[in-house]
Every structure is written in structure tokens, then in C-alpha cells.
Amino acid sequence: MANKTYTVMVVSDHNAPVKRYHIQKSLIVQLAVGVALVASVATGATVHYFQVAKDAAENRILRDENLTLRTQLKSVRERIEHIGSTLDRVERFDQKLRAVTMLSDPQRNLAMGPTEPEPGTTSPTTDTQFTQLTTNDKPEALMGRLDKLSAEATRQEQSLQELQAYFQDQRSLLASTPSIWPARGWVTSDFGQRLDPYTADRIMHQGLDIAAPHGKEVFSPSDGTVVFAGLEGGYGNVIVIDHGYGIKTRYGHLSKILVKAGDRVKRGALIAAVGNTGRSTGPHLHYEVRVNGIPQNPRKFILSE
């Protein structure tokens, strides 16, 4: 069986003799094994080729994604540096504003932004506090820096809100300061000691007497709320306006009252007319300014000529 052979006959189309070839079975088996082996290798090579091609495509995608991520990471670093620089500038500007507005005065009971480091700590207001970033920073490190930036931004927001409240308060204070003349005329009696026109005694005159024609307009010198409008003894017809911050103004001897208690008035609003009511020797406006109930010289509040 081991030497079994196969005969292959080749018959020509012409009258040539028939050719016979004897092929051993073992040779055929070896040939079949060789073909199978070659086919197997070819199949494996083909599969490997496609796998390598697939891996190469995936590697290209990963390289592209990696390049995109690096670009985005660089952008994040740049944005962190920009935000950090902006916060540094805001911090310095905040301190300048506080220095100008005297918000560091402890009597104002307002928190001052840190200008000096606390013991055992470093100053937070350095130009490189948030900008010392390197190309080797990992996402975890960047997240930590972002958390610090967020905390600093919150602190700055609170500080700026405090400054905003201060400036709003100052704006309200300026609007409440009686800074214009309530009536146009001439001052016949100033603030201070004077002789009483009725008794000739030397007494304290707690306001200004502004002589003007009967019926001359009287204006509110600042924003406020009318707290009294009516008769008051020797002052005759009187208006009292509360401007806030302990400031009140009084207008006496009026011929006509054009507002009532509870009315809100603005600076320059028409509130009354000059008269001669009460204890008066002629048409004029008696004008007083009181701060926390204490009479003040109205002239020191008036800014207009």
C-alpha cells in the first residue's frame, strides 16, 4: 500500500503514441499537504493583513483624537492663564478702589480684601498665582487649578458686591444731601447767634432766612420723604423732609404747601411757596438743616451758587 501508484494517461489528438505517467500516492499526498499549507498560510496572511490595516486605521484615528485633545488641552491652559491674569488684575483694582474709598477703615465694618498674607501663608495676589502652567500639566492638575480659580472668582464676586453696595450707598447719600438753594432770594439772617427781631434778645438762629417775593417757588434741595406738612407755632406753615442718613430739612413761613406727609420728592421738586405766615416780619423762607436732630449751618451743604 505504501508503494501504490497512480497512472496518468495522456492521449494526443493526433496519431502519436499514448503517454503514461506513474505517480506515487505519497507524492500526491505531499502535494495536497503542501497546497493546503500554502492555502492556510495565504489565508492567515490575508487575515493578518486586514487586521494590521484595521489597527493602522484605528491608530490614525487615535492619533487624530490625541492631537485634538492636545490642542484642546493647550486651549484650556491658555484660558486658565487668561482667567488667572484677569483675576490678578481685578484683585489689584479691588484693592485700589478700597484704598480710594477708605473701605479698609474698620469703623465701617466692611471686610477689606487681603493685602498682606496671613501668618504661615503666602500672598494670593501675585501675578503668577494662577498662570504658572506647564505643558506637562495633567487634566487632574488643571481641574485643581480650575477649582482654585472658581474659589477666587467667588471671593472676588463677594468683594465687588461689597464695593457695589458701598457705591450705591454713596450715590444714595449724595442724592440725599441738600446741596441746592431751596429758594432764590437774599439771606437776611444767617445761621448762628443773632438779635431776636421781636424781643431784641440774643438767641441762636438755627437756619437761614431767605427773603423773596410772596409766592416765590420753594424747591426740595435733595431727594427725600415729606414727614410733616402743616401749621407749627411761630413757624406758620411748615414742611419737614426726611432725606435719610439722619438728615432732615425744615421750611417755615410758607404761603402755600404743595405736598403732603408721605410724599416722595426729588431734588429740584416744587414743594411750596414763600410766605409770611407765623411769627414773621415779612415774606421770607426760614430754612433749616438738621443732622441727627442737631441744627447745622445750611451753607456747608449747598454746592450751587
pLDDT band, residue 145 (cuts 50/70/90): confident
Q: How far is CA 174 from CA 198, 235, 247, 262, in A?
A: 38, 28, 12, 21
- The residue with cell 416722595 is 264
Tell me how far apart the alpha carbons of residues 301 and 180 are, in angstroms, rounded to a whole number.
Answer: 8
Residue 132 in this model has a pLDDT that exceeds 60: no
Q: Name the residue with cell 415729606.
A: 226
Q: Compare 231 and 92 and report the one with higher pLDDT.
A: 231
Pairing of strands 284-291, 208-211: antiparallel
| 244-271 pLDDT per residue, tens | 989 999 999 999 999 999 999 999 999 9
- Average pLDDT, integer, range 113-130: 42
pLDDT at 126: 40
Regarding predicted confidence, which is higher, 167 or 291?
291
For 93, other C-beta atoms within 10 Å of its C-beta total 13
DSSP symbol at 13: S
Domain assignments of the chain as residue spans, ordered by start: 5-70, 86-111+124-176, 186-300
- Nearest by Cα to 296 from 190, 156, 188: 190
**What is the per-residue burial (b if ≥16 Cβ within 10 Å, else e) of 251-262?**
bbbbbebbbeee
The pLDDT of residue 99: 66
Cα(67)–Cα(51) distance, rounded to whole angstroms?
24
pLDDT band at residue 3 under the 50/70/90 scheme: low
β-partners of residue 248 are 242, 290
Closest by Cα among 221, 98, 247 to 165: 98
Does residue 262 come out as left (phi exceeding 0), alpha (psi in the -120 to 50 range) or beta? Answer: left
pLDDT of residue 32: 84
Question: Which top CATH class is 186-300?
Answer: mainly beta
Q: What mean pLDDT is reported for the chain?
A: 79
Please state, in angstroms and rounded to a whole number, the distance separating the CA atoms of residues 57 and 33: 36
